[in-house]
C-alpha cells in the first residue's frame, strides 16, 4: 500500500496594481536606483493602495485566482491557513474572514505567523493535515501588506518590502509526489534584530509609541543578512544530503526573496546554476509570507511533473528552514 503524501495541485496569485519604483523612492529617502539594485536586486515593489483594505483583500484575490483557474469548488476545501506577519487586525483571524469570503463554508481556518518563514512552516502544517488522512483539500495562502508596517523615511527597510499574496492547494497523492522532507529551525536570539517594538503585550500602543515610530519594522540589516546567508544555505545543503540529491538532480531552488545576494549565496552553496534558481525579487521586493507562492505562480508553466524543488526561507525570530518537494503536475 502506497504512503499518502501531500502534493501541491494548484497555485494562484495576486499583486496590487500600484508599482513603487526605485526612482520614486529616490524622491522619498536618501537613496538611488543603483544603490538599491546592487545591494538587494530590487527594482520595484507592489503597494496595496485600496483604502480600508488589508492583507485579507490580497489573500482573497489570490485564493479566487487559484479557484477560478482550476475550477475548484470552494465548498470542498477542508482547511484554510493564512501565513502572514500582517494580519488584518489583532484577535480576529484573517484566515477565518478569508475562508468565508471565498465560499469555503465547510472549512476551518486560522493564521500562522513565523515572519518570512510563515509560508514554509505552513507547507509543513498543511502537508501533515493531508498525510493524517483526515482532510483532502488544504488551502495555504501566504499574504502580507508590508507597506502597513514600513516607515517610508527609513531607507533600511522601505527599499526592501512590498505587498502581495500567493496561494497553493495541497491534496493527497499516491504516486510518491509532494512533500518529501523538511528541516525547520528557529532561534530566539534573533528577536532583537528584526522586530516591531510596540503594539504587542509587552508594549501596548500609546500616543507616545505612535509618536516614536515604534509600530514600524526595525531591522539591523547586517546582522540579519549574516544569519540569513549562513542559515538558508546550511539547511538547503542538509536537505540535499539527507535525500541523496545533487545539483544535477535538483530542478529548482525556490528561495525566499529577501535579497538577491542571499539567494545567490544559497544557490552557490549547493552548486546550482542561475537557470535553476527561481527569482522575481526585482519586480516584487520582499513580500514576506508571499514570496514562495508568488514564485510558484510565476514559474508554474515551467514546472514539470516529478521535478525536485528545494524551498528555503529565513525570517525574524529567527525562523528558517528548507523543504524538499516533488512537483505533482505539468501545465
Please identify every residue annotated as catalytic.
116, 256, 286
Tell me if 296 sits within 8 A of 166, measured CB to CB: yes
Distance CA 27, CA 247 (A): 43
Distances (CA, A) of 135 to 175, 178, 304: 18, 15, 26
Beta-sheet strands, E only, within 155-271: 163-173, 178-186, 194-195, 218-219, 252-255
- Residue 128 backbone phi and psi in degrees, to 5: -65, -40
Question: Per this entry, what is the length of the chain?
Answer: 331
Tell me if 141 sits within 8 A of 159, measured CB to CB: no
Helix count (H) and strand count (E) of the chain?
11, 13
Rg (CA), the chain: 19
3-state secondary structure of 121: helix
Distance CA 125, CA 300 (A): 22
Distance CA 57, CA 65 (A): 12
Distance CA 315, CA 302 (A): 27
Distance CA 3, CA 126 (A): 16
Amino acid at each position: 500500500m502506497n504512503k499518502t503524501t501531500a502534493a501541491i495541485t494548484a497555485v494562484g496569485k495576486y499583486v496590487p496594481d500600484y508599482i513603487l519604483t526605485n526612482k520614486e523612492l529616490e524622491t522619498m529617502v536618501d537613496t538611488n536606483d543603483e544603490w538599491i539594485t546592487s545591494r538587494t536586486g530590487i527594482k520595484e515593489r507592489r503597494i496595496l493602495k485600496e483604502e480600508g483594505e488589508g492583507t485579507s483583500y490580497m489573500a482573497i484575490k489570490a485564493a479566487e485566482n487559484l479557484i477560478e483557474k482550476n475550477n475548484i469548488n470552494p465548498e470542498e476545501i477542508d482547511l484554510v491557513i493564512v501565513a502572514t506577519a500582517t494580519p488584518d487586525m489583532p484577535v480576529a483571524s484573517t484566515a477565518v474572514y478569508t475562508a468565508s469570503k471565498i465560499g469555503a463554508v465547510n472549512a476551518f481556518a486560522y493564521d500562522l505567523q513565523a515572519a518570512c518563514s510563515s509560508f514554509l512552516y505552513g507547507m509543513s502544517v498543511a502537508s501533515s493535515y493531508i498525510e493524517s488522512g483526515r482532510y483532502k483539500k488544504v488551502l495555504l495562502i501566504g499574504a502580507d501588506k508590508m507597506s502597513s508596517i514600513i516607515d517610508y523615511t527609513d531607507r533600511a527597510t522601505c527599499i526592501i518590502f512590498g505587498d502581495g499574496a500567493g496561494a497553493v492547494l495541497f491534496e493527497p497523492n499516491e504516486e510518491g509526489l509532494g512533500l518529501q522532507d523538511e528541516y525547520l529551525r528557529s532561534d530566539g536570539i534573533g528577536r532583537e534584530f528584526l522586530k516591531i517594538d510596540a503594539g504587542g503585550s509587552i508594549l501596548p500602543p500609546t500616543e507616545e509609541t505612535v509618536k516614536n515610530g515604534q509600530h514600524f519594522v526595525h531591522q539591523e540589516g547586517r546582522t540579519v543578512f549574516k544569519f540569513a546567508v549562513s542559515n538558508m544555505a546550511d539547511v538547503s545543503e542538509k536537505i540535499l544530503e539527507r535525500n541523496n540529491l545533487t545539483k544535477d538532480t535538483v530542478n529548482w531552488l525556490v528561495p525566499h526573496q529577501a535579497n538577491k545576494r542571499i539567494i545567490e549565496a544559497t544557490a552557490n552553496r549547493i552548486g546550482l546554476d542561475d537557470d535553476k534558481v527561481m527569482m522575481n525579487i526585482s519586480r516584487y521586493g520582499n513580500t514576506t509570507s508571499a514570496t514562495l507562492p508568488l514564485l510558484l505562480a510565476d514559474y508554474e508553466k515551467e514546472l514539470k511533473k516529478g521535478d525536485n524543488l528545494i524551498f528555503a526561507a529565513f525570517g525574524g525570530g529567527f525562523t528558517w528552514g528548507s523543504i524538499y518537494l516533488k512537483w505533482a503536475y505539468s501545465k
